[in-house]
Amino acid sequence: MTESADIVLKEKRPKEKKEKTRDKILKAARQVFARYPYQTASIRTISKLGEVDPALISYHFGSKAELFKAVLQDMLLRHRELLDTWHKAVKPMGVTRGLSVFLDYLLEEHRNRPELLRIVSLNFQLADSDNPVPGYDLIEGLMKTSIKEMNEVLELDVPDHEADTFIRAITILVVSCLGNAGSYAKIMGMDSESIVYFNWVKDTVLFMALPRLKLMSQKTSSSEA
């Protein structure tokens, strides 16, 4: 190995180690924030689960608030990329089939990575203007983008407030049913991780959403006639 290559390798190792430690902290934090509300989740619990020194968490993220925002940013980035893919896939399918397939994508992603909706469900019901949860603006930003994209995918020529209300209503229903699945499934005597419960969630969303969606589609068709 040449001297220059050896120097590059020595410089690379600390960087890789830092990235590995950061990823380890984020993974542990995702799990902890998905179990406990932001206010009660502790750095000590995260450090214990991730098997890292609390000082390393402070070094990489500075504070619990910044760590929470980093967790959200990481998950929302993936979710944003998935939404783009899903929207492109369902756009040619039409209203009924498109919404059904979109829900299939969403439910499968939640089964594999349930932390995002659990964190949203746990924390944002506790947020208020006097004590905002860190990263609320990230969720709101995703929401606004999703409203715009969904309207474009469905090609609905309806007022913005109508599209906004419709998509927010679906989102609230999905977040409630999946983010708080344990409670809803228990009431109905189901296993929250079973295909039976996931099918129930899909059927419920379609039952609530399709009539309104078809009505809006008819308005669009009438306006184009």
pLDDT (tens digit, 9 = 90+) per residue, 77-129? 998 899 889 888 988 888 888 889 999 999 999 999 999 999 988 887 665 65
Q: Rounded distance, CA 167 to CA 153, Å?
A: 12
Burial 18-35 (b: 16+ CB within 10 A, else e): eeebbebbbbbbbbbbbe
Instruction: Reply yes or no on whether the pLDDT at 205 is more than 70.
Output: yes
CATH topology of domain 69-224: Tetracycline Repressor; domain 2 (1.10.357)
Determine the average pLDDT of the residues in 158-185. 86
Burial 165-181 (b: 16+ CB within 10 A, else e): ebbeebbeebbbbbbbb
CATH topology of domain 1-62: Arc Repressor Mutant, subunit A (1.10.10)
Contact in structure between 210 and 100 (CB atoms under 8 Å):
no
What is the per-residue pLDDT across 107-117, written as a single tens digit (0 to 9) for each? Answer: 999 999 999 99
Q: Work out the mean pLDDT of the chain and round it to a whole number.
A: 84
Instruction: Reply yes or no on whether the pLDDT at 21 is more than 60.
Output: yes
Contact in structure between 189 and 216 (CB atoms under 8 Å):
no
- Where along the chain do its domains lie? 1-62, 69-224
| More reliable by pLDDT, 157 or 1 | 157
Query: Percent of the chain scored above 70 by pLDDT?
Result: 85
Instruction: Reply yes or no on whether the pLDDT at 150 is more than 60.
Output: yes
Model pLDDT, residue 16 = 75
**Bridge partners, 198 (sequence order):** none
Model pLDDT, residue 217 = 74
Determine the average pLDDT of the residues in 176-186. 91
Q: Is 105 exposed, middle or buried (0-12, 13-18, 19+ CB in 10 A)?
A: middle
Torsion of CA 103, 104, 109, 110, to 10 degrees: 60
Model pLDDT, residue 94 = 82
Q: What is the pTM of this model?
A: 0.81
